[in-house]
Amino acid sequence: MNEQNFSNHTRYHPLFHYVLAPLAFAGLVGSVVNLVNCEPAGLYSASLLVIAFVLIFILGMLVRTYALKAQDRAIRAEENFRHFLLTGKPFDARLRTGQIVALRFASDEELPTLAQKAADEGLGAKAIKSSIKHWKADHYRI
């Protein structure tokens, strides 16, 4: 596996990103086109098809969102514990979940200083990640 860094840390799940999401979106668009162009006799079935694809699209997005929220909770707990082990204190309460998720890439040497800087300056996730000098890979989050 290649060394992970700021420029290549983004991960994709091929079945979700390249199959499910595009097919659900294409099905939604196609069902709307079908509804617009249908004969009055087919209006009911065309409407049901649109509803079905709206539900499939929403369900796919919710499943993805729920999985990421669960991962964010785990990362928040793990990184707060790591910070506590390194400093004897929990994270600053001003840190948002997105900031903590970004801090997971910081090495143990950088974490306390970068966490304080993120809290004091309100750094965003991208700014935090680009400030990291010694990248700690995370190959589990998708």
H-only helix segments in 9-106: 14, 21-37, 43-87, 97-103
Query: pLDDT, tens digit, for every residue of 128-142?
Result: 999 999 988 877 766
Q: Which of these, 134, 116, 118, 137, lies nearest to 126 by C-alpha position?
A: 118
Tell me the pLDDT tens digit for each residue of 80-98. Answer: 999 999 999 999 999 999 9
Helix (H, G, I), strand (E, B) or coil at 114: helix
Contacts of 18 (CB under 8 A, 6+ apart): 12
Sign of CA dihedral 52, 58, 61, 64: negative
Q: How many CB atoms lie within 10 A of CB 49?
A: 19
User: Could you read off the pLDDT of 19-57 as tens digits, one per residue?
Assistant: 999 999 999 999 999 999 999 999 999 999 999 999 999
Is pLDDT of 75 > 80?
yes
Which residues neighbour 82 within 8 Å (Cβ) at sequence distance 6 or greater? 108, 111
* Confidence band for 112, pLDDT divided at 50, 70 and 90: very high
Distance (Å, whole) CA 135 – CA 110: 10
> What global pTM score does this model have?
0.76
Q: Which two tokens stand for residue 106?
A: 């910081």
State the pLDDT confidence band at 123, using cuts at 50, 70 and 90.
Answer: very high
Beta bridge partners of 106: 135
Q: How confident is the model at residue 1 (pLDDT cuts 50, 70, 90)?
A: low
Q: What is the pLDDT of residue 6?
A: 74
Spatial neighbors of 61 by CB under 8 A, at least 6 apart, are none
